Amino acid sequence: MKVIAGFIAAVVAAYIFGAAFVSQGNIATVVSLGYEVTFAQRIDALIHDVTHMYDVYLPLVAIGLAIGLSVAAAIIRFVPHLRMVGYVSAGFVGMIALHVLAKAALGVSGIAPTREITGLLAQGIAGGIGGFVFHWVTVKREAVADASSAPV
């Protein structure tokens, strides 16, 4: 049950951060064209994107993280001391792979900011945050307490 809760929390976190990065990436393009964008407009765009991208973007985030976190779980069995690094890396790579594979398969970038390296890396960061959330929710608290009290 903890794994399911962790996965849902990871997807929600990655989705919110990813949508926020998309929103601000689109605004950066508007600003580069010479238009002025207020802080209130940035917040409005952020709220709009987070509440309206769920029908297409949320399932894609879930697929990217499902694949990435599953592969990480298999690898982490052999190197459990790298658990956090593994899940953060898996989220990062999963989100980047999602956009790169979509571009390769469809020939277009569905998310405009991912056409630039900064937008693509921002999506990776969103996935990394999702991976960290998965790690944090699913970690055994007893193991954390034991590790912190162990002699160095």
pLDDT tens for the chain, 152 residues: list them: 899 999 999 999 999 999 999 999 989 999 999 999 999 999 999 999 999 999 989 999 999 999 999 999 999 999 999 999 999 999 999 999 988 988 888 887 778 888 889 999 999 999 999 999 999 999 986 555 555 555 55
Q: What are the structure tokens assigned to 86, written together?
A: 């593994």
Sign of the alpha-carbon dihedral angle for 46, 52, 54, 60? negative
Distance (Å, rounded) from C-alpha 35 to C-alpha 131? 36
* Domain spans in the chain, listed from the N-terminal domain onward: 2-149
What does pTM read for this prediction?
0.87
- What pLDDT shows up at residue 148? 57
Q: Check residue 59 and give its pLDDT.
A: 94
Rounded to the nearest 10°, the torsion over CA 86, 92, 95, 96 is -120
